[in-house]
């Protein structure tokens, strides 16, 4: 694959920022919003809650003069876990919320105990019954809370509690906060819209409650996982791609591992040139919260390492069940053994085409990449998973020389 590709806005920033926009009674204009199925689902949810929304050409205009509904219905939440971000927003805006409990998903049980712990710390009377999170408070009160979880920090809990705390009286100090670039992006958005958040990007975030809302215009950061996916595609196919509109700094751990495996990366402020002409070598990948290696990139690396000579390993420390792409890659002739939370990958010369089934968003991206490098024509089913997180994926791949097309079932 050769050529230029422009990266879209970050899904995992856009979703919480759209939800956080419910807090303000003022007009909100969001730029660089990717046109994804999940974004459309979040728009459906905030409109149900009471927002007037216009969305076109990656610009979203939103205004919520009045909250009409204080709940997030099961039929919307079951489609997208990130719906739980309206819990923090409704508590900050109206001190009450009823949110359908997001179940587990393909990659793990994904409990929300830290979200509930954080809300309780702010004085919220919160319980879970009949599949709903029921939350109310006379007034949110700022308080210290430690959000350390069994797998380390939590992106979702940090963001949800941070949003809620903007509506509290007094200061909130979140310790063991997640440091992901998306957490920083939400905090920066809250500050532009009149709140007082500091420490974002570190493990201690301070929110001075009750900022004064103001009209806001904000552009979300580029999607580092989409950028990482195209960087892997360049090395996997032995090509060279200039990836623009991205922030290499946000995926330093990914690019370091790509270089260790034989890729060559030229990093600039908002772009990077990746070529895969170099000799490949086996590596060990250890997944960890930011600035560690992101769990959302391990599936794509498994597809890459399946044809890298030698024995590589990937240790997945965040989600319990995120190696589902392995069995599909084995159908293509990959030599992979799963030992608990570690995948052992013995590189083969080339994968061969096969009929494949996608199981989740990042697994589906890894199967498409593997298909691009395999001998013969590969068919990947259940690609609705892809549309949740990649904007115009096959168009972008085709513009880089990939022979790929979408067919209806």
Say how far apart CA 24 and CA 381 lie, in whole Å: 41
Say how far apart CA 196 and CA 182 lie, in whole Å: 17
Q: Is residue 391 at the binding interface for ligand EPZ, with CB under 6 A as the rule?
A: no
- For residue 340, the 8-state DSSP code is T
* Identity of the residue, 151 or 264, whose beta carbon is nearer to ligand EPZ in the bound complex: 151
The two structure tokens encoding residue 333: 């002739």
* Identity of the residue, 332 or 365, whose beta carbon is nearer to ligand EPZ in the bound complex: 365
| CB-based burial label for 287 (10 Å; 0-12, 13-18, 19+) | buried
Bridging pattern class, strands 271-275 and 264-267: antiparallel
Minimum Å gap between C-beta 100 and ligand EPZ is 15
Contacts of 191 (CB under 8 A, 6+ apart): 197
* Residue owning tokens 């903007």: 166
Q: Is residue 319 at the binding interface for ligand EPZ, with CB under 6 A as the rule?
A: yes
| Among positions 52, 54, 75, 113, the unique one binding ligand EPZ when judged by CB under 6 A | 113
Say how far apart CA 66 and CA 75 lie, in whole Å: 23
The two structure tokens encoding residue 375: 């001998």
Neighbours of 130 (CB within 10 A): 7
Q: Is residue 110 at the binding interface for ligand EPZ, with CB under 6 A as the rule?
A: yes
| Among positions 111, 238, 278, 310, the unique one binding ligand EPZ when judged by CB under 6 A | 111
Say how far apart CA 174 and CA 142 lie, in whole Å: 10
| Among positions 17, 23, 157, 283, the unique one binding ligand EPZ when judged by CB under 6 A | 157
| Among positions 226, 296, 328, 387, the unique one binding ligand EPZ when judged by CB under 6 A | 296
Nearest alpha-carbon partner for 350 in 365, 325, 329: 329
Nearest residue to ligand EPZ by CB is 156
Catalytic residue among 105, 195, 246, 247: 105
Minimum Å gap between C-beta 365 and ligand EPZ is 9
| Among positions 133, 361, 363, 369, the unique one binding ligand EPZ when judged by CB under 6 A | 361
Cα–Cα distances (Å) from 193 to 17, 27, 91, 357, in that order, read: 11, 10, 17, 43
Minimum Å gap between C-beta 36 and ligand EPZ is 10
* Identity of the residue, 32 or 307, whose beta carbon is nearer to ligand EPZ in the bound complex: 32
| CB-based burial label for 314 (10 Å; 0-12, 13-18, 19+) | buried
* Identity of the residue, 341 or 394, whose beta carbon is nearer to ligand EPZ in the bound complex: 341
Biggest CA-to-CA distance, the chain = 64
Contacts with ligand EPZ by CB under 6 A: the residue count is 25
* Identity of the residue, 123 or 149, whose beta carbon is nearer to ligand EPZ in the bound complex: 149
- Report whether 208 contacts 171 (CB < 8 A): yes
| Among positions 8, 12, 298, 364, the unique one binding ligand EPZ when judged by CB under 6 A | 12
Q: Is residue 362 at the binding interface for ligand EPZ, with CB under 6 A as the rule?
A: yes
Binding span for ligand EPZ by CB under 6 A among 62-70, 107-115, 165-173, 324-332: 107-115
Minimum Å gap between C-beta 83 and ligand EPZ is 10
Minimum Å gap between C-beta 344 and ligand EPZ is 22
Say how far apart CA 267 and CA 5 lie, in whole Å: 15
Say how far apart CA 337 and CA 223 lie, in whole Å: 31
Residue 105 is among the residues annotated as catalytic for this protein: yes
Binders of ligand EPZ among residues 43 to 102 (CB under 6 A) are 82
Q: Strand ranges (DSSP E) for 287-371?
A: 311-315, 335-339, 342-346, 355-357
Nearest alpha-carbon partner for 6 in 400, 406, 389, 387: 400
The radius of gyration of the chain's CA atoms, rounded to the nearest angstrom, is: 21
| Among positions 389, 391, 396, 400, the unique one binding ligand EPZ when judged by CB under 6 A | 389
Helical (H) or strand (E) element with 5: strand 2-6
Minimum Å gap between C-beta 110 and ligand EPZ is 4
Minimum Å gap between C-beta 12 and ligand EPZ is 3
Binders of ligand EPZ among residues 114 to 153 (CB under 6 A) are 114-115, 149-151
Binding span for ligand EPZ by CB under 6 A among 111-119, 125-133, 253-261, 271-279: 111-119
* Identity of the residue, 244 or 317, whose beta carbon is nearer to ligand EPZ in the bound complex: 317
| Among positions 51, 253, 295, 359, the unique one binding ligand EPZ when judged by CB under 6 A | 295
Residues that bind ligand EPZ (CB under 6 A): 12, 15, 82, 108, 110-115, 149-151, 154-157, 178, 295-296, 318-319, 361-362, 389
Residue numbers annotated as active site: 105
């Amino acid at each position: 694959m050769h050529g230029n590709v422009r990266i879209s806005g970050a899904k995992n920033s856009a979703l919480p920022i759209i939800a956080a926009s419910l807090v303000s009674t003022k007009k909100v204009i969001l730029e660089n919003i990717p046109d994804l199925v999940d974004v459309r689902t979040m728009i459906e949810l905030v409109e149900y809650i009471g927002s007037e929304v216009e969305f076109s050409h990656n610009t979203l205009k939103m205004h919520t003069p009045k909250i009409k509904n204080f709940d997030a219905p099961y039929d919307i939440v079951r489609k997208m876990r990130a719906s739980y971000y309206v819990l923090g927003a409704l508590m900050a805006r109206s001190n009450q919320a009823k949110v359908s409990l997001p179940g587990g998903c393909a990659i793990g049980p994904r409990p929300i105990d830290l979200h509930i712990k954080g809300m309780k710390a702010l004085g919220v009377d919160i319980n879970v019954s009949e599949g709903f999170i029921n939350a109310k408070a006379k007034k949110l009160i700022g308080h210290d809370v430690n959000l350390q979880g069994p797998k380390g920090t939590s992106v979702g809990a940090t963001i949800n509690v941070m949003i809620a705390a903007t509506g509290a009286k007094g200061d909130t100090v979140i310790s063991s906060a997640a440091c992901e670039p998306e957490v920083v992006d939400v905090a920066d958005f809250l500050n532009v819209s009149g709140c007082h958040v500091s420490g974002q990007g570190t493990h201690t975030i301070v929110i001075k409650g009750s900022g004064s809302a103001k009209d806001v215009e904000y552009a979300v950061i580029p999607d580092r996982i989409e950028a990482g996916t195209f960087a892997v595609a360049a090395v996997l196919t032995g090509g060279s791609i200039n990836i623009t509109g991205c922030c290499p700094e946000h995926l330093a751990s990914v690019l370091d591992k790509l270089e260790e495996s034989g890729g060559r990366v030229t990093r600039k402020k908002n772009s990077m040139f990746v070529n895969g002409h170099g000799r490949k070598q086996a590596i060990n990948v250890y997944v960890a919260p930011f600035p560690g290696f992101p769990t959302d990139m391990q599936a794509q690396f498994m597809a890459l390492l399946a044809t890298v000579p030698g024995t590589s390993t990937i240790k997945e420390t965040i989600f319990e069940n995120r190696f589902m792409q392995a069995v599909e890659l084995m159908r293509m002739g990959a030599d992979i053994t799963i030992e608990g939370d570690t995948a052992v990958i013995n590189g083969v010369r080339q994968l061969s085409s096969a009929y494949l089934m996608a199981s989740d968003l990042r697994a589906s991206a890894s199967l498409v990449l593997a298909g691009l490098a395999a001998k013969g024509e590969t068919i990947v089913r259940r690609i609705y998973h892809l549309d949740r997180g990649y904007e115009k994926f096959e168009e972008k791949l085709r513009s880089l020389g990939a022979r790929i097309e979408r067919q209806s079932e």
